[in-house]
Amino acid sequence: MLIAVENLTKTYKTYERGSTFRETLASLLVRKTKYVEALKGISFNIGKGELVGFLGPNGAGKSTTLKILTGILHPSAGTANIMGYTPWKHRKKYVAKIGAVFGQKSQLLWDIPPIDAFYLNKAIYGIPERQFHQTLDEMVELLNVSELIRKPTRQLSLGERMKCEFIMAMLHRPEIVFLDEPTIGLDVVAKDKIREFILEMNRNGVTFILTTHDLGDVEHLARRIILINHGELVFDDSLEALRRFSGAKKIITLTTHEPLPDIELPGITVTKKTSDYNVELELDLAVLELNQFINIISQTSLISDLLVQEPEIETVIKDLYQQEKRSKDE
């Protein structure tokens, strides 16, 4: 395994302050200690060449996990073996093998062209001259930025800067790349280009760990999903398995020539009614099969359009979190 994480735990020690003037004054003399469990013993393995979506709501422990895996933080307990290194113990050698792209933090220098920043990275990582130019030429051609890399960074659009950020992260040919909101704020065209680049690098054997709130990125890129919530791992399987979690359900958009009567049948939940002729609903195939549903509708209305889709991944994830919350409350 390229990445092996076992019982990773992280507890933060903080101090409570009072809300009133008297309580604040008292806390200067005696501080009340508070312990926050950011991670509660999570374990997972990731193989070479995988593209994994590492997801969770705000405060779930995603950032803490990634900081540990990149060697920034020490865990309170547990182990992480990545390419034979312990990230927080062998940080200098380890970081030469990984890359990172953060959508909200730039590695580029604002007043100089990206090409100059690339040469700076060449010196930092000690990249051989021939390898540097070969990699740079490949990336520039793949992302179509041959003219852009010679302009000052401040003159580039967000999409153009993000392409250059990826070149910065990939110049030293890392085996693992951590992506944190890599397409945040990008338009549709720029997102597609970045996604194509990630998939191409993944086909070349680079392992990616993707953290994002853009579930479009997840659906386009990730083949496997790891979900954490409240510092605990709640799901680790393929994207298809996550979709199956909510059962055999379909989202149906239905348009008819005649007004639709109220649909009150087992297995059918109306989610949106645009007009008397157009409705969106959720169909549970375990209760009512699709052909049965169509026959029932056809008896009262002539169908002019029918669209059958899988449930959105966001809906499935919400259902999973809600089920986890209910199981804890019971």
Give the CA distances from residue 64 to residues 75, 181, 262, 303, in Å, rounded to whole numbers and listed in that order. 9, 15, 49, 51
Q: What is the value of pTM for the model shown?
A: 0.79
Which class for 202: exposed (0-12), middle (13-18), buried (19 or more C-beta within 10 A)? middle
- Distance CA(252)–CA(254), nearest Å, equals 6
The pLDDT assigned to 246 comes to 63
- Mean predicted confidence (pLDDT) in 218-236: 90
pLDDT at 328 > cutoff 70: no
Backbone angles phi, psi at 320, to 5 degrees: -65, -45
Nearest CA-CA partner of 100 in 48, 169, 156, 52? 169
Edge-to-edge strands of the sheet including 249-256?
A: 268-275, 278-284, 249-256, 303-309
Out of 168-172, 245-249, 324-328, which region has the weakest mean confidence (pLDDT)? 324-328
pLDDT confidence bin for 327, thresholds 50/70/90 = low
Is beta strand 278-284 parallel, antiparallel or unpaired with respect to 303-309?
Answer: unpaired
**221 within 8 A of 54, measured Cβ to Cβ:** no
pLDDT tens profile 45-64: 999 999 999 998 888 888 89
Side-chain half-sphere exposure of 198, counting CA atoms within 13 A: 33
- Assign 234 to helix, strand or coil: strand
pLDDT (0 to 100) of residue 137: 94
pLDDT of residue 99: 92
Amino acid at 314: E
Say what the pLDDT of residue 150 is.
93
- pLDDT exceeds cutoff 80 at 227: yes
69-108 per-position pLDDT tens digit? 999 999 999 999 999 999 999 988 999 999 998 877 888 8
Residue with tokens 């700076």: 120
β-sheet bridge partners, residue 305 = 255
CATH topology (fold) of 47-243 = Rossmann fold (3.40.50)
**Beta strand 77-82 pairing with 3-16:** antiparallel
| pLDDT the model gives residue 259 | 85
